[in-house]
Amino acid sequence: MVKTGVIGCGYWGPNLIRNFRSTKNCEMVICCDKDEKKLERMKSLFPGIKTTTNYQDLLDAKLDAVAIATPVGTHYPLAKACLMADKHVLVEKPITRSSEECQDLINTAESRQRVLMVGHTFEYTAAVNKIKAIIDSGEIGEIMYVSSTRVNLGLFQPDINVIWDLAPHDVSIITYVLGKNPISVNAQGKAHYTKGIEDVAMMTLYYENGMIAFLHNSWLDPQKIRNMVFVGTKKMLVYDDISANEKIKIYDKGVEKPRYYDTFGDFHYAYRYGDIYIPKIDEHEALGEECRHFLHCIVENQIPRSNGYVGLNVIKVLEAANQSLTMQGTSVAIDSNSYQTMTGKGHEASEHRK
């Protein structure tokens, strides 16, 4: 039985508490928040749960694991304190505000032989895993470009811009599905309401194989849109996370150019218009899957799918995008050698936890 606590009882924390409480091999012991009213609400929603306004109580308690769902600026100090108290840690995205902070958490987790996991919830959705399976099968062909739109009206964040708030979802999905990290990024955006905090942004990610990805993030859109398009050399795939029953559509459409032609007049592109089909998805609550995976990794001494290095690679992209914002959209290179994986180091860390 994994004894677990949660820090942060605002928007996301109650969902974590609910899922941990409903998991068989987990005992949800205590939750923490500075706001007494939020804690009173937790008591009404989850009778019997212990509450505290001091996170130190979780460090002193006989807990195995702590999940952190607090403002981004607090992620690093809270996660570091929990790891130093020998707790396994799940941190919501983005894992930290800098790659230096994230690397320190990774080093601490490895030295203390603890599990460190970041809450990239979309990596645990049935739809995203279906997309990955379809693309891995070769049905779509080689991916030429990806287009992602993640916009809505609000919620404005006081400490991070729209890229740090929304783009981690897009970057983590693309990286997980395609198994590729970008080599450079450019970004443009505008702060309309809070100086220095962009509320709308456009990012372009460039990849070593020539693939390109466009990301549009905004807190200032009249519609809530969660849409991604994967355009391949064979087919095209559209992912609409808002749709209840038709999240994925595959279009048998494409463009073919003639292999041989003598003159420009002979040159004509051929456009293919085929069927559209909707793959069946066996839905489940992604956060529940994420929480169960976290607990499984603790019990079985395994490396999480969305481990600290995965979180670090996303942070590197966000940092480069932020730098590009300050340079009016100038492209910023990301050294491919700077990307890290669990290969080698991760295996050793896993072995040490046994």
What total number of domains does the chain contain?
2
Pair 178, 292 in one domain = no
Give me the percent of the chain exceeding a pLDDT of 90.
86
Judging by beta carbons within 10 Å of its beta carbon (0-12, 13-18, 19+), is residue 282 exposed, middle or buried? exposed
**Do residue 110 and residue 166 come from a single domain?**
no
Q: How far apart are CA 310 and CA 119, in angstroms?
A: 10
**What range does the domain containing 251 cover?**
124-277
CATH, residue 168: 3.30.360.10
CA distance 181 to 338: 10
User: Is the residue at 28 inside a domain?
Assistant: yes
254 within domain boundaries: yes
Q: Are residues 191 and 90 in the same domain?
A: no
Answer whether 82's CB lies under 8 Å from 247's CB: no
249 located within any domain: yes
Residues 70, 147: one domain?
no
Residue linked to tokens 């001091």: 54
Mark whether 248 and 176 lie in a shared domain: yes
Tell whether the model's pLDDT for residue 348 goes beyond 70. no
Pairing of strands 143-153, 65-68: unpaired
pLDDT tens, 262-310?
Answer: 666 656 788 888 899 999 999 899 999 999 999 999 999 999 999 999 9
In a domain, 222, yes or no: yes
Percentage of residues of the chain with pLDDT beyond 70: 92
pTM to 2 decimals? 0.91
